[in-house]
Amino acid sequence: MKQRIYIFILYAVLALMTACTHSSETKDDKSSSAMADYQRALAYDQGWQMKIAEHYYKKAYQGFAQNPAQDWHHYTDAGYRWACLRFRRGDTEGALNVITELLHQAEGNEAFPKTNEAALLMLMAEIQLQLHQYNEARLTGQKVYEAIEQNADNGNRREMDMAWACINISDIHHTSGDIEGAMAWLDRCAQGLTLAEREHDDSLVIEEWKGHVALKQSLYLLESGHANEAQATYAAIPRSRLMEPLGYREAADYLMAAGRYDEAAEWYERIDSTYLATDGAKMTFDNIATRLSPRYMAYRKAGRNADALVLADSVCAAIDSALVWQKQNDAAELAVIYQTHEKELALNDARSETRIHRLLLATAILIILLIGYLFWRTRTYNKELLEKNRRLLADIEQREREEQQTIELLKAKPEDVLTAEQQIFRRICDLMDSSERIYTDTNLDRSRLAQLLGTNEHYVTDAISACTDGKSVNAFLNEYRLRYAARLLATTSDSITVIAELSGFSRSSFFRIFSDAYGMSPSDYRRVARK
C-alpha cells in the first residue's frame, strides 16, 4: 500500500516538475526573444529605418522588463534607445515616461549600470533644455557627472567617460546661457583628456576630443567678448584635430559667429561632401536643416549670391527628394511593422494553443492518476473491510455455538437437579426453538411470554437473567430474532426491509440493533456470509 502511495506522489511531483520546467522554458524564451528584438532594433537603427527600430526597441524593453535582473544592461539600453527615438520624433512625454521609470529603478540599485544611468540622465537634460527648464537641466547634468564618477566598474574607460560627461554638461550650460559655467566644465573636460592620454593608446581619439574642446572654447570666448583670445585659440588648433562632420560643424559655427563667412562656407561644403560620399541618396529633412540651410546662410552673408541661388535650387530639389524618400520609407517601414505584427500574432496564437494542449494533457493525466488512486483505494478499503467482517462473522458464529451448547447442556440435565429459574428458562428455550418461531412476533414481550408459559412475568425475567449472565428479556428475544435475520440474509435474496419485518423488528430499529450486535451492517453481513 505504501509503495503505491509513493508511486502516486512521484507521478504528482513529476507533473509539477514538468509544469515548472515549462514555466522556466517560457521565461527563457521571453529572454531570448527580447534579445532577438534588441538585435533587430540595432540593425534597423543602423539602417536609418527608425520606425521599425523604435518598434523593436519597445518590444525588447518590454521583454527584458519581465525580469530586468537577468540582464540589466540590455534592459536599460533598450529603454534608453527607445526613449531617444520617441524624443527625436517629438514624443517628449513618452520619452520622459520611459526615462523616469528606468531612473526610478536605478535608485539604490547597485546592479543598475552607471553608464546607462548617465546616458538616461543626459537625455533627460536634453529634453529639459528643449522645454526651457534650464535650472533643472543643469542639475541633471551634475547628476550625470556624479553617476560616472561613482562608476568604479568602468576601469580605464572612466576618464574618457568623465570627459564625455563634462563636454556635454558644458553644452547644457552654454544652451542655458551660462557661458562661465560652460567654460568651467570645458576645463574639467580638458583635464580629463590629459589624464586619459596617459592611460590610453588611442591617441587619434584623444586628439579629436581635444579639437572639440578647443573649438568650443573658441566659440565661448567669442560670445563672452574675448574675440582676440578666441581667434588665438582657434588659430592654434592643428587641422589634424578637426575630424569628422561634428568637428567641421563646430569650426563652421565659430567662423559664422566671428563673421568669417567665406571660411565657414568652406567647412559647410566639406560637411556636405562628406555626407554625399556616404548617404547622398538619402536626403532627409534633417539633412537639409543641418547641411544645406547653414551653408546657404554662409553664402548669403559672404555675399556669394550666385552660389546661394544655386544652392537654393538644390534645396528645393532636396525637399522634393526628401518628401518622396520619406513617403517611401514610411510606407516600407509600416509594411514591415504590419507583417511583423501579423507573424507575432500567429506565433502567439500557436504558443497559446500549445500551452492549452499541454495544460489539458497534464490535467487529463492528473485526473486519470487521481481516478486510478481512488479506485485502488476503494478496492483496498473494501478488501480490508471484507477481512474484518469475516473475522467478526467467525467470532459471532463461535459465540452462538457456545451459547447453544450451554442451552443443550441445560436441556440434557434431569429436571430434579435444576433450579426453579433453570426449569423456567429451559421451557422458554423450548418455546423459542419450536417451529412456530414465536420470537418473530413484534408484540412478543415479557408479559406475553409469561402468559404462554402460564407463569408470572417476574419469574420469566429472573429466569432469563439468571441463566444468561444478566440479559434482559428484550435482549434475549432480539438474539433469536437476529440469528433468524442473519440466516435469511445468508440464504435468501429478500430485501433487508422485508427480512427485518419477518424477523420481528421494526424498520427503524433493525439496522441499529443489527450493527450494534454484529459490528457490521446487514448488507455487509449478507456479502461476507455468501463468500
Residue 281: its pLDDT value, please?
Answer: 44
Whole-number pLDDT of residue 31: 67
* pLDDT, tens digit, 9 for 90 and up, residues 197-227: 776 655 777 888 888 898 899 899 999 899 9
Say whether 238 sits in a helix, a strand or coil. Answer: coil
Asked if pLDDT for residue 79 goes beyond 50, the answer is yes
Among 282-286, 375-379, 454-458, where is mean pLDDT lowest?
282-286
The answer to whether residue 154 scores a pLDDT higher than 80 is: no
pLDDT band at 21; cut points 50, 70, 90 = very low
Neighbours of 14 (CB within 10 A): 11
Residue 262, helix vs strand vs coil: helix
**Is residue 265's pLDDT more than 70?**
yes
Element of type H or E holding 392 = helix 305-412
At residue 78 the predicted structure's pLDDT band, cuts being 50, 70 and 90, is: very high
Read off the DSSP letter of residue 439. G
Please give the single-letter amino acid code of residue 529.
A
Q: Which residues of 314-323 are buried (b: 16+ CB within 10 A; e: fewer)?
A: bbeebeebbe
Predicted confidence at residue 30, as pLDDT, reads 64
99-107 mean pLDDT: 90
Let me know the angle formed at the C-alpha of 193 by 234 and 156, rounded to the nearest 5 degrees: 160
DSSP 505: -
How many CB atoms are closer than 10 A to CB 19? 13
In the predicted structure, residue 8 carries a pLDDT above the cut 70: no
In the structure, how many helices (H) and strands (E) does the chain have?
Answer: 22, 0
Give CA angle at 200 (195, 201), nearest 5°.
Answer: 140
Whether the per-residue pLDDT at 2 is higher than 60: the answer is no
Lookup result for grid cell 574639467: 188
E strand intervals along 480-530 = none
The residue among 209, 207, 227 whose CA lies nearest residue 170 is 209
Annotate 36-50 with DSSP letters as a single string. HHHHHHHHHHHTT-H
Identify the pLDDT of residue 347.
67
CA separation for the pair 200, 206 (Å, rounded): 9
Q: Which residue has the higher pLDDT, 128 or 395?
A: 128
Q: Which of 530, 485, 528, 531 is nearest to 395 (CA)?
A: 528
Neighbouring C-alpha atoms within 13 Å toward the C-beta of 414 = 2
pLDDT bracket for residue 289 (50, 70, 90)? low
**pLDDT, the chain, mean:** 81
pLDDT tens for 343-369 read: 666 767 777 888 888 888 888 898 898
Report how far residue 493's alpha carbon sits from residue 472's, in angstroms, rounded to the nearest whole number: 32
pTM for the full model?
0.56
pLDDT of residue 282: 55
- Among 115-119, 270-274, 408-412, top mean pLDDT goes to 115-119
pLDDT at residue number 331: 61
**Phi and psi torsions of 503, nearest 5°:** -90, -5
Q: How many CA atoms lie within 13 A of 273 on its CB side?
A: 7
pLDDT computed for residue 122 by the predictor:
92
* Percent of the chain clearing pLDDT 90 (strictly above): 15
Query: What pLDDT is stored for residue 6 in this prediction?
Result: 47
Answer for the pair 70, 110: CB distance below 8 angstroms, yes or no. Answer: no
How many CB atoms are closer than 10 A to CB 261? 19
Sequence length of the chain is: 531
Q: How many other CB atoms are found less than 10 A from the CB of residue 523? A: 11
Q: How many CA atoms lie within 13 A of 116 on its CB side?
A: 22
Q: Lowest-confidence range among 82-96, 156-170, 255-269, 443-457? A: 156-170
481 to 38, 93, 490, 501, 503: CA distances (angstroms): 89, 94, 14, 10, 5
Q: Is the per-residue pLDDT at 288 higher than 90?
A: no
Between the alpha carbon of residue 235 and those of residues 264, 269, 297, 333, the distances in Å are 14, 20, 23, 47
